[in-house]
Amino acid sequence: MLIAGNHGDEYEGKLALINLARTLQRADVFGRVIIVPSFDFPAFKAGRRLSPLDDRNLNRVFPENALGSPTEMIARYVSDVLLPVADVVIDLHFGGFSLDYVQCALIRSGRNEEETSELLELAEVFGAPVILITRGSAGGGAITLNAVGREL
């Protein structure tokens, strides 16, 4: 699953995924590809980082309440319907109007060493100059690597 637009003012990922969807050929696909170019469409439409419907940050409400605010409902749908059918999720983020980030690939460590190695290989293919492997907690990464896999 390829997603972008978690924040409404992040346009680069949306454009990349729309271009991919237009050019992707059936012969190049083995399995299922789910492309969601604008996760938070109300925020995108308003050109805002947060949803104009409830002033919530979709990236911070997972998995939340299926009967809650509009942003919470989107998060719950993603958690309950989309994520369970995906083997790999690539979530594209950018700085939007207000932020300037270092280009990087952020991955969670896998369930075992082999899975982590496969995820690292995928991140290297992405081509970002910095790769951060996290344990999935909010505190930051375990190992920071450059694109060729040498520890920084």
More confident residue, 131 or 64: 131
The model carries a pTM of: 0.72
The residue ranges of DSSP E strands in the chain, in sequence order, are 2-3, 35-36, 90-91, 104-108, 130-134, 141-146
Please count the other Cβ atoms lying within 10 Å of the Cβ belonging to residue 8. Answer: 25
Q: How does pLDDT run across 26-36, given as a tens digit for each residue?
A: 999 999 999 99
51-61 pLDDT per residue, tens: 999 999 888 88
Tokens of 128: 């970002």
More confident residue, 102 or 148: 102
Asked whether residue 146 carries a pLDDT value surpassing 60, the answer given is no
pLDDT band at 136 (very low <50, low <70, confident <90, very high): low
| Strand 90-91 to 104-108 pairing | unpaired
Q: What is the mean pLDDT of the chain?
A: 82
